[in-house]
Amino acid sequence: MQEHAPMREEDVGVITHYWSDLGVAGVHLTAPLNVGEHIHVVGHTSDFEQSVGSMETEHHQLSHAEPGADVGIRVVEPAREHDHVYKVVDYDTGGPGMQL
């Protein structure tokens, strides 16, 4: 069995809205985020991880977004307003965590 390096999480934003018909969460970013990075969504009833597969703002696809941006991210489970979004980061290298 292979040992996994410990992971750390950086707070990158908060859920501001969830469109259940689209499976998309609106996120207000407090730190930079890239498509392909691994995130962890945590709230009172939410707790799931996924890779950022797509990110949009005003119907425009993004590969990167800066702090202060309001973006839509397709999520694998329902998210709720005020849930926190964390970026999972490799503890040893500071690089992106595992990809799904």
The pair of structure tokens assigned to 59 is 């119907």
Q: What are phi and psi of 84, to 5 degrees?
A: -95, 145
- Distance separating alpha carbons of residues 98 and 39, to the nearest angstrom: 10
Q: What pLDDT is recorded for position 3?
A: 58
pLDDT tens track for 35-59: 999 999 999 999 999 999 999 999 9
- Whether the pLDDT of residue 77 is over 60: the answer is yes
3-state secondary structure 37-94: CEEEEECCCCEEEEECCCEEECCEEECEECCCCEEEEECCCCCCCCCEEEEEEECCCC
Residue 90: band (very low, low, confident or very high) from pLDDT cuts 50, 70, 90: confident
Q: What is the pLDDT of residue 1?
A: 52
> Which residues, in sequence order, are CB contacts of 32 under 8 Å at separation 6+?
12, 64, 65, 66, 67
- For each of the domains in the chain, give its residue range(s) and CATH number, in order of start: 7-90 (2.40.30.10)
pLDDT digits (tens, 9 = 90+) for 61-76: 999 999 999 999 999 9
- At 76 the pLDDT is 97
